A and B are shown apart, each in its own frame.
Chain A
């Protein structure tokens, strides 16, 4: 009984000291502690529950209402002249490019009336045969919110540094596809084969 009394008394004193210390720390360093916790949490990534909502567009304003998340597939690129169909993903990391074509996240989306930059590896199932395309050949981007048809206006070899200078403007909807060049080169070359195409037809799905 006496021992129990001693335990309770001493624990109560210790808990009183603990409460006092916690209050002092809270009053003195609360902001700093919150800042450190927030900084730490900036480095955490919690995968968001992926909603099954497809990328959607407001048909009146022609504005995209639900953008794809990074790594999400939102369309298919079809090039009938070279008989290829490539899945189109938002983002252009190496992980994404392993699966198909990657849309550069700093460029515009089809329907936004701007420059759209898409890359893919120079494998036969992706963009290997881009150099075979001629003027007026069609490129169709079939997205979850509409079908966009483009016609080739130019195709050329460029250095990487030139490609990095492409301006993303909203003057006219232009599609830019590129891949590593030469096609059968081993290693990493400093050149890219680039194809420019302008929008000719749009069909929005309901």
Chain B
């Protein structure tokens, strides 16, 4: 009887942990609105704009142009708009094409001004086109991250559906077992909350100890920064939930004083 009760406690603890962690993932990593708010909060768009411009600067040295060719090529707001559309398209798995028309127009304008200013009448069209292509490719590489993800958007939709199913099953399972444990409901909940708190705490500290998150370098500075911000935020959420679980578990340990008649 005691073993059966212990098994039910264990089961309800696991179900609650699965329910909480799946809900957390659904509300954070798998939620495009949350991600966009996170990027806004961490000034990701500014970082992308700066990083893109710095990379473009590297191409000036061998091009014969000076820094004027990069004047007002794009704004932070344009990058923000494109990035938001790209993020939505990743989560909804719909096609996305980065609009570079404004950038191309501004670049052409700047090149024309420099040629006129320096009275340059003759130039190699192919060389100029190569330069323009490098600048536009740099812009695309820093913003159109979807092109690097391959089939990931497809998997995001599948994973989201799977996690919704897991949330429902674990929630329903938890509820039914909670109903079954008539006299030990408070005990079951407090044990489950303590268990979840321990799991989330250990997950947080394990990841922090195993992976040097701040030093992640993946492809370019923009993607690296995104991954670092995502992981740090996710871990913070796990830590927050762990603390909440322990606190709520403590609350459920308080028994009502029964009046002795």
Contacts and interface: CB of A to CB of B under 8 A. Distances in A.
Contact of B63 (A44, A97, A187): A187
B148 interface: no
B63 A188 contact: yes
A187 B115 CA distance: 12
Contacts of A186: 63-65, 115, 120, 123-124, 127-128, 131
Interface of A: 2-3, 6-7, 10-11, 13-15, 17-18, 20-22, 37, 40-41, 43-46, 94-95, 97-98, 121-123, 180, 184-190
Contact of B218 (A43, A98, A189): A43
Interface size class of B (residues with CB under 8 A): 35 or more
Contacts of A95: 58
Nearest to B245: A14
Contacts, number: 121
* Residue of A11, A14, A22 most packed against chain B (CB within 10 A): A14
B129 A187 contact: yes
Contacts of A44: 211-213, 215-217
11 contacts: A10-B249, A15-B194, A43-B216, A44-B215, A44-B216, A45-B217, A94-B59, A121-B61, A185-B127, A187-B126, A190-B127
Interface of B: 6, 9-10, 13-14, 58-59, 61-65, 115, 120, 123-124, 126-132, 134, 187, 190-195, 197-199, 202, 210-213, 215-218, 249-250, 253-255
* Residue of A17, A43, A98, A122 most packed against chain B (CB within 10 A): A17
Given A11-B194, A45-B217, A37 B63 contact: no
* Residue of B190, B202, B255 most packed against chain A (CB within 10 A): B190
Contact of A97 (B14, B61, B191): B61
A3 B250 CA distance: 9
Interface SS, A side: helix
Contacts of B253: 3, 6-7, 10
A11 B190 CA distance: 8
Contacts of B9: 13, 17
A189 B64 CA distance: 11
